[in-house]
Amino acid sequence: MTDHTNDAQTTVLVIGGGVGGIKAAMDLSEAQKDVLLVDKAAAIGGLMTQLDRTFPTNNCDLCTISPHLSAGARQQHIDLMPLTQVTAVTGEAGDFTVTLTSTPRYIDLEKCTACGECHKKYPECVRFYPGLDHRAPTCMRYPQATPQAFSIDMAACKDVNGLVNVCPANAIVVDDQEKVATRRVSSIILAVGADLFDPDKLDHFGHGRYPNVVTGLEYERIMSASGPTLGELVRPSDGVPPKRVAWIQCAGSRGINREDVSYCSSVCCMYALKEAIVTKERFQDDIETTIFYMDMRTFGKDYEGYYQRAKDQYGVRMVRCRPHSIVPDSTGQQLHIAYATDENSGMTTELFDMVVLSTGFRPSSHTTRLAEILGVELNAHQFVRGGNFEPVVTSRPGIYVCGVIEGPKDIPETMVQASAAACMAARHTGHAGSAAEVESEYPPERDVIGETPRIGVFVCDCGQNIGGAMDVDAVVQEAAKYPHVVHVEMAGHGCGQEALDRMRQMIQEKNLNRVVVGACSPRTHEGLFQENLRKAGLNKYLLDIANIRDQNAWVHGGARELATAKAKKLIRMAVGGVAQAGPLREHRLPINKDVLVIGGGVSGMSSALALGDQGYKVVLAERTGRLGGLAAIIRRNLEGDDVRAYVAQLVEKVQAHDQIEVITNAIVVDHSGMPGKFQTGFQIGPRMYYRQIEHGATVMATGALAHRPDQYLLGRHKAVMTQLDLDDLLETQPEQVSNWECMVMVQCVGSRTADNPNCSRICCQSAIKNALRLTDLNPDMRVFILYRDMRTYGFSEDAYIEARRRGVIFVRYQADIPPRVTADGDRVTVHFHDPILGRDMEVTADCLGLSTGLLADDETTEDLAAIFHLNRTEDGHFLEDHVKLKPLDMSVPGFFVAGTAHSPRTIRESIAQAQGVAGRIQGLLAQDVINLGAVVARVDRDKCATCLVCVRACPYHVPFINEDRYSEIDPAKCHGCGICAAECPAKAIQLSCFEDAPIMAKLEGLLERIA
Amino acid sequence: MITAERKPLAEIIDYIDNCRRILLVGCNECVTVCAAGGRKEVAMLASAMQMDFMKRGKTVDIREMTLERQCEPEYVEELAPFIDQADAVVSMACGCGVQEVVRRFRGKRVYPAVNTSFMGAAERPGVWAERCHGCGNCLLGLTGGICPIARCSKRLMNGPCGGSSKGKCEVSTEIDCVWQLIWDRLKELGIEDRYEEIILAKDWRTERGGGPRKIVREDLAQ
Amino acid sequence: METFEPVIVAFCCHYCAYTAADMAGTMRLDYPANVKIVRVPCSGKVDPIHMMKALELGADGVLVAGCLEGDCHFKTGNVKAARRVTYVQTQLEEIGVEPQRLAMVTMSAGMGTRFAAIANEFTEQIRKLGPNPVAAARKAQAAPAPVAQVN
C-alpha cells in the first residue's frame, strides 16, 4: 500500500467506523479519494453490528454489513486506524493537521489470526465491547470483526507470560505503547454516532435491578445468533422462555422528567415493532407481545405498512399510554406494569415475563469533547448542528457530519447523509490515482493456453478456524494425489500478506498455471486471491476456491473425520473445475462522464449543483416551463427560514452555472444504453423537437404531488384549505389571519388511508409550524389539531412541545371515526370525538386546515419506469436498490433517486439525498472505464440453430439474431446469469467461468469414488 | 417447421436393449428448435439411457453426435468414421433424418427416438401447434390465410359443423374452431363475401391420393 | 450393514443459497456433511443435463437452490429453474429413479437457518429412499467406458 501520510491534497479523515462512517469511506474510496478511517473501538462496525436484524427488511444484520466491512478492509484507498481518537485539529478546509492518539491493543494486527486461544484461556485479559450484561461467546464484537483481531486489556491481566505463551501466532505485544501521530487531511467527516440511553437512571422502570427488564439492544443481543444465549430467547432471571413480553416506548425520550430528553429518537417505534415481529415470527402463538406507546412513529418509506402488519398479521398488541412503573411480583420472576389509558381513568396492572425498554440515542460525553477539539457547534441537545438547507455542513468549513450525531435517524437516512458528506468532503481533495494506473503495475499475463494444467493447491488452516475442525495435513496429502496437482501446501492464514507472497513465489517456482485455495468463502475472498494470481502474472480466472471454512469447518466443528473427508471432496471438486478453466478477458468500456438529472425541483437542482461543482457536465431536464418544483410555493419551513428565497437563489445558481445546462418543457420519450453509456431522447418545448442526450449516470428527482383529496369540503368552502394554502396565507394576509378566533387542523387527510396507505411524513411538522405562526400572530387564537399519531420525530418534537405550551389543543381521533365538517356561513363547524373527555365535541372555526401531505406522481413515475425499466413501490414512488445498503441507487445500475420521488420527506432531507446521489455518482464516474466483468454468455456460431430460445429467455433482452444469422450476445450488456446457456437446445451457449466442462468436472470429482 | 416429441424411454430402450454400443444422433435443424432432438436432448437421452441400463446392472457405451441436418447426405456422411463402432444408431431427427441414415448405412440398425408429429409453428415459447398438413394444393388464399385442413378436426372446407360452440371445437375446448378464426379474419379484412364462395371438393391426389410424392426441379436436378 | 451415507449435490445460487450456506456456517449450524455445494451465478443457470448427470454419476440426491419467488437477482431464473426441475423429475420417473431425489428449494441470503434445515430434511429424505438405484447397480459392476462426446 502506498504511503499517503503527507498527501493532504487527497485524504479525507472519517471519524467513526459505524455504518455511516463506513459508507462515507466506501463512497470516497470508490471516487478514488484516500480515506483515513479512525474509530475509538477495536473494530469498526458501530452499533449496527450488535443488532440481530434491522428494519424494515428484518434481515440478519451480519450478512448486511459484512460485505461492507470485508470490502472496506480491502479497499486500497482506506487506511483504518482502530482504537484511535482525534486529539487536536489545526489548519483550515483543504489542509487540516490532525493529531491522532491510539491506545495500545497489545496485539500485533499483522500476526493475530483471531483464533481465540487467548480468550479461551485468559478471558479476563480480553477486551469486550458490546457493553451488555451477557458476554458473547466470542469477544470480538461479532464474528466477522474488522480488523479481525482481538484486543487485550493488559491492566486486567495477571499472568502476562501465560497469555504470551498461549498465543500460537506470537501476536501479543506486551510492551505496546500509546501512539501519537499527526496527519494532514483535506477535510473531515464526523460520523461518531451516539450512545444509547442508559435506563438504570430511571428508577421507576428498575433496569439494572430487575434482571428481566432489558433494553432494546439487550433484547437484540438475546435474540442474536452471535449473542450470549446463541439466539435462544430466555428470561435472564431464570433461563425460562418468556410467554409475555412488553415493550415500553420513549424510555428516557420525549420526556420532561429527570434524566429525560425532550426530543424523539426516531427509530425506537420501528425497532420495537421489529423485535415484536421477529419474536412473533419465531414463537407464533406461544408468546404474547405488547407495545406501550404514546404515538406510533412509523413515518419512513413504507414503514406504515410494517406497523399495520405487526398489528394485523402478527398480532402484536398495541396499548397507547405511557406506563407509570414496573414492579416485580413476589417470585421476582415476573413484572407488573402499571398504566392508565385514555379510555380507562383508573390504573391497570398487568403481569409480564420480560419488559423491553425502548431507549433512544444520547450523544456521548466523548462527542462533546470532540466537538470542542474540532471547533464545531452543537445544538441544545448536544448533537452536532447541521445547516437547515445544508444538512451535512457543520459550523466549521471543511468539516462535515453524517448519521445519528447530526440528529436521531435510522440506517437508510444515515446512509444517505454519509453519501452526502462524502460528496461534500470530496470537494476539498484533488485527484488520487485511478484504478487503471494500479492495474498497469502488474506484470503481463502469462499465456497458458495449450499448456497441460499444473495446479497448485493451498490449504488454509485459518488460525484454527479450519485447522481446529479437521486434519489439514491429511487433506494436503490427499490433494497431492489429484490429477494435474503438482504442488500442495498448508497456507496457514492464506489471506495474510506472508501467505500471499509465498503463493506468488510458488506460482513462479513450480511454474503453476492454475491455483486452488482451500479457504473461506469466495464471496468474501475471491477478489483477494484473484488479485494475487494477477500479481503473479496469471489470469485471475485460473483460480478456484474450495469453501472449506464457512461451508465445512464451521458446520462440522464437532466431527473431525467428516469435516476432513468433506474438505478432501471439496478440494477434489475445485481441482477438477479449475483444470477446465481458461483465462478470461474482462470487458471494459470507456465511460461517459456527463450526468442527466430529471426533475428541476430542489432535489434535482441540488444534485446538479453538487455534481457541477465537482466538474461534471450536467443536463437538468424539467418537464414544466420553470425550475423550483413544489418547494417554490412553500413560504416557510419549521425552522422559520424563507423557503422561497432559498429556492430562488438555487434557481439562479443553477442557471448561472457553467457546467449545468437546463432544458425545460422536456419530456422523456426513449432510452437505451448501459451505465457509463446511456442515451435518452427528449421532446422539448412547445414545438416538441427531438433531442438525444448522452450521459453516464441518471438522477431521478421527479418529485411528488401536493395531495388535494375531495374531503372535508376542500375546494368547496373558502374556510377549508390545505396546510400549503395556509402557509401562503400566513405570509400574504397576516392581518386577516390574525383576526381569526378559532382554527382547526385535521391530520392524515388522504394519508394512512386505504387509498394511500403510507404516512406523508411532513404533515405533523407542517401543522405545528403553522400553529406556531398562528399563535405568533394572535396568541389568543384557539387552535385545535385533530391527529391520529403526532409524528414530530427527532428535534421537531421541541416544536410540538412549544405548541402545547402555547395552548394548542391536540385531540386524537381514530381512523374509523374521523372528524366531520359542516358549513356554517363563512365559518365551518367541525364535529369530533374527544377520547379523554369521552364526549363528542363541536367547534366552529374560522379556518379548517387539512394536512394533506404528498402523493406519489403515479402517472409520471409509471411512464418513466416503463421507459427506463425502473422499479416502483405499490404507491408509485421509485424503488431504491436496497433500502439500507443502497438507499440512493436504483436496481438499474447507473440510476439514482433523490427527493420526494423516493418518498415523502422534508426539503432538508431531500437535499441530503440529492447531495448523497452526487456522492454516489462521483464514485461511479471516477472510473475511466466500466469493468463489465468476465462472466458473460458466449455463442458458438457453428452450433447455433437460430431457434430464438435465448432471445426469448434472456431477462434483459440481450441476445439477438445478427446479420450472419446466428445469435449474438453483447458482452457489454450481458448480466451473466446463464439462463440462456441452460435453455439453449443446441448447447451453443456457454457462460464464462461457469461453462459445462468445469461444472461436469466438479461433479465427476465429487462422484468419482462412487463408481 | 417439422415438429416432433421424444418417444417414451421404454420404447427406445426396447429397440436397443441388446446393444452395447449406441450411436445417438441428433439434428441441429427443426428438432433442435422444437426441443425434441438437438444437442441438449441428445445429452438428456444419453444420460437417461445410461441410467436405465446401469439400473439394471448393464453397461452401454453411448456416443453422442448432432448433425447440422440429418436429412442431407453430406451431413449424414459425418457418421461414417464412427458407424462401425456402433451396434445400432438411435436417431433423434424427424422421420426424414432417420431414413437418410438408413439409406446411407444399409447394414446398420437405425431406430427413431422421436415421434415426428406435424408441421407447425411456435405459438409461444415451449408450445408448438399444427399449422400445415402438406396437402400439396394450398388454399390459404381462399380462407383468409388460415388452413381448415390442418386446423379443422374434420377438415371441413365450407364453414363449421354443428359442433362449433363459442369459437371452440367440440373435440376439445383447447382447440379453436378454425372456421370461427377464418370468419373473424375475413371480417377484419372486410371481405366477408368470400365466405359465401363455395370451395369445391378438393382433389386429394396432391396429398396422398396419388401415392408418395416427389418434387423435381429440372434445372437443379443432377 | 453400515448406515447409508448419501451423496447430495446442491447447485446453489451465488446470490442467495450459497450465501445462506455461508451464513449457516457463521451461525455454526450443524447440517449433514453429505451435502456438497456447486456454486452457480443463478439457479437459472442449472442445465437439466447437469441434474441428470449428477444422478447418472452416482449422486443420491440433487438440490437446486435459488432465491425466493420474486427475489431472483436475474428476475426469472428461479422460476425457470423450478420448471426445469419438474421436467427432469418426469424424466427420472420414466427411468425408474425416484423423482424425489431431485428438488428445487428457495431461500434468501439471510436464511442460514433455512439452508441448514433444508440440508437436514433433504438428507433425511434421501436416506429413507436409500441409495440411488443407478449407483447401487453400478457399484456391483466394473466402471463403464467413459461417455464420449464428439460435438
Q: A608 — phi, psi (to 5°)?
A: -60, -45
Taking an 8 Å cut-off on Cβ atoms, the answer to whether A987 and B29 are in contact is: no
**A918 in Cβ contact with A610 (< 8 Å):** yes
Domain stops at, among A832, A853, A874: A853
| pLDDT score of A242 | 95
Q: Which fold has domain C8-140?
A: Rossmann fold (3.40.50)
Cis peptide before A147, with omega less than 30 degrees from 0?
Answer: yes
Closest by Cα among C103, C76, C147 to C11? C103
Contacts C141 to B, Cβ<8 Å: 54, 57, 59
Taking an 8 Å cut-off on Cβ atoms, the answer to whether C31 and A555 are in contact is: yes
CA atoms within 13 A on the CB side of A551: 32
Q: B121-128 — which CB contacts under 8 Å span 24+ positions?
A: B121/B1, B122/B33, B122/B34, B125/A949, B125/A952, B125/A953, B126/B35, B128/B1, B128/B3, B128/B34
Asked whether residue A76 falls in the same domain as residue A161, the answer is no
Cis peptide before A123, with omega less than 30 degrees from 0?
Answer: no
Going across the sheet that includes A820-824, the strands are: A820-824, A827-834, A839-845
Closest by Cα among C28, C33, C3, C17 to C103? C17
**A16 in Cβ contact with A192 (< 8 Å):** yes
Q: For residue range B6-42, list pLDDT tens digits in order.
A: 999 999 999 999 999 999 999 999 999 999 999 999 9
Higher pLDDT, A165 or C62: C62
Burial of C27 (0-12, 13-18, 19+ CB in 10 A): buried
Number of domains in chain A: 7
What is the mean predicted confidence (pLDDT) over A265-292? 92
Q: How confident is the model at residue A230 (pLDDT cuts 50, 70, 90)?
A: low
3-state secondary structure of A548: coil
DSSP H helices in chain B: 9-16, 30-33, 39-55, 73-76, 80-83, 95-104, 148-151, 178-189, 193-196
Beta strand A689-695 with A847-850 is unpaired
Taking an 8 Å cut-off on Cβ atoms, the answer to whether B51 and C53 are in contact is: no
Asked whether residue A74 falls in the same domain as residue A120, the answer is no
Asked whether residue A894 falls in the same domain as residue A983, the answer is no
Q: For residue range A250-278, list pLDDT tens digits in order.
A: 999 999 888 999 999 999 999 999 999 98
| pLDDT score of A711 | 95
Nearest to A945 among B33, B43, B125 (CB): B33
Asked whether residue A575 falls in the same domain as residue A626, the answer is no
3-state secondary structure of A709: coil
Q: How confident is the model at residue A694 (pLDDT cuts 50, 70, 90)?
A: very high
Contacts A62 to C, Cβ<8 Å: 23, 26
Burial of A209 (0-12, 13-18, 19+ CB in 10 A): exposed
Q: Which residues contact C41 (CB under 8 A, 6 or more apart)?
A: A935, A976, A977, A978, A991, A993, A994, C13, C14, C15
Rounded CA separation A980/A966 (Å): 14
Closest by Cα among C128, C93, C150, A1009 to B52? C93
**B156 in Cβ contact with B177 (< 8 Å):** no
Partner residues linked to A340 by β-bridges:
none
Asked whether residue A497 falls in the same domain as residue A530, the answer is yes
**A637 in Cβ contact with A589 (< 8 Å):** no
Residue A590 forms part of a structural domain: no
Partner residues linked to A152 by β-bridges:
A126
* CA dist list (Å): A170 to A157, A175, A464, A469: 17, 13, 14, 21
Contacts C88 to A, Cβ<8 Å: none
Nearest to C45 among A62, A982, A1011 (CB): A982
User: Which stretch of DSSP H or E encloses residue A356?
Assistant: strand A354-359
Domain that holds residue A454: 446-579
What is the mean predicted confidence (pLDDT) over A101-116? 82
Question: Is the minimum CB–CB distance between C95 and chain B shorter than 8 Å?
Answer: yes
Q: What percent of chain A has pLDDT over 70?
A: 92
Nearest to B52 among C49, C95, C149 (CB): C95
Q: Which residues contact A486 (CB under 8 A, 6 or more apart)?
A: A454, A455, A456, A510, A512
Asked whether residue A746 falls in the same domain as residue A799, the answer is yes
Rounded CA separation A182/A14 (Å): 15
Asked whether residue A369 falls in the same domain as residue A348, the answer is no
Higher pLDDT, B53 or A929: B53
| pLDDT score of A140 | 38
Q: What percent of chain A has pLDDT over 90?
A: 70
Which residue in this structure is represented by grid cell 415476573? A334
Q: Is the dihedral of CA A594, A597, A600, A602 positive or negative?
A: negative
- Note the ipTM here: 0.94
What is the mean predicted confidence (pLDDT) over A91-110? 92
User: Which stretch of DSSP H or E encloses residue A605?
Assistant: helix A602-613
Indicate the domain borders of chain C.
Answer: 8-140
Burial of B109 (0-12, 13-18, 19+ CB in 10 A): middle
* CA dist list (Å): A928 to A32, A431, A612, A838: 11, 13, 18, 68
Most confident of A144-158, A515-529, B14-28: B14-28
Per-residue DSSP letter, B190: T
Q: For residue range A846-864, list pLDDT tens digits in order.
A: 999 999 999 999 999 999 9
Q: How confident is the model at residue A806 (pLDDT cuts 50, 70, 90)?
A: very high
Q: A333 — phi, psi (to 5°)?
A: -90, -30
CA C137 to chain centroid, in Å, comes to 21
Asked whether residue A223 falls in the same domain as residue A336, the answer is yes
| pLDDT score of C24 | 86
Contacts A945 to B, Cβ<8 Å: 28-29, 32-33, 38
| pLDDT score of C142 | 47
Residue A189 forms part of a structural domain: yes
Q: What is the CATH number of the domain that holds A299?
A: 3.50.50.60
* CA dist list (Å): A657 to A133, A347, A620, A898: 57, 65, 11, 21
Q: For residue range B169-183, list pLDDT tens digits in order.
A: 999 999 999 999 999
The residue ranges of chain C whose pLDDT is under 70 are: 1-2, 138-151
Asked whether residue A696 falls in the same domain as residue A608, the answer is yes
Which residue in this structure is represented by grid cell 372528524? A819
3-state secondary structure of A831: strand
C81 to chain B, minimum CA–CA distance in Å? 15
Taking an 8 Å cut-off on Cβ atoms, the answer to whether A953 and B125 are in contact is: yes
Residue pairs between chains A and B whose CB atoms are closer than 8 Å: 34
Q: How confident is the model at residue A343 (pLDDT cuts 50, 70, 90)?
A: confident
| Residue A246 in this model has a pLDDT that exceeds 70 | yes
| Residue A346 in this model has a pLDDT that exceeds 90 | no
| Residue A53 in this model has a pLDDT that exceeds 80 | no
| Residue A130 in this model has a pLDDT that exceeds 50 | no
Per-residue DSSP letter, A1009: G
Structural domains present in chain B: 2-117 (3.40.50.2300), 136-206 (no CATH)
Tally of CB atoms within 10 A around A804: 15
| pLDDT score of A508 | 95
Taking an 8 Å cut-off on Cβ atoms, the answer to whether A1011 and C19 are in contact is: no
| pLDDT score of A436 | 46
Question: Is the minimum CB–CB distance between C134 and chain B shorter than 8 Å?
Answer: yes
| Residue A636 in this model has a pLDDT that exceeds 90 | yes
Taking an 8 Å cut-off on Cβ atoms, the answer to whether A987 and B43 are in contact is: yes
Rounded CA separation C110/A67 (Å): 13
Tally of CB atoms within 10 A around A117: 19
**A723 in Cβ contact with A763 (< 8 Å):** yes
| pLDDT score of A56 | 65
Asked whether residue A343 falls in the same domain as residue A374, the answer is no
Rounded CA separation A411/A183 (Å): 30
Taking an 8 Å cut-off on Cβ atoms, the answer to whether C21 and A982 are in contact is: no
Rounded CA separation B85/B109 (Å): 13
Taking an 8 Å cut-off on Cβ atoms, the answer to whether C38 and A999 are in contact is: yes
Residue A1001 forms part of a structural domain: no
Q: Which residues contact A271 (CB under 8 A, 6 or more apart)?
A: A55, A216, A358
Asked whether residue A315 falls in the same domain as residue A458, the answer is no
| pLDDT score of A760 | 96
3-state secondary structure of A904: coil
Residue A996 forms part of a structural domain: no
User: What is the gyration radius of the CA atoms in chain C, in angstroms?
Assistant: 16
Domain stops at, among A801, A830, A853: A853
Going across the sheet that includes B127-132, the strands are: B2-6, B114-124, B127-132
Asked whether residue A600 falls in the same domain as residue A695, the answer is yes
**B153 in Cβ contact with B171 (< 8 Å):** yes
Q: For residue range A439-464, list pLDDT tens digits in order.
A: 557 899 999 999 999 999 999 987 67
Q: C4 — phi, psi (to 5°)?
A: -80, 120
Domain stops at, among A517, A544, A579: A579
| Residue A502 in this model has a pLDDT that exceeds 50 | yes
Q: For residue range C64-91, list pLDDT tens digits in order.
A: 999 888 778 788 899 999 999 999 999 9
Q: Which residues contact C20 (CB under 8 A, 6 or more apart)?
A: C65, C107, C108, C109, C110, C111, C112, C114, C115
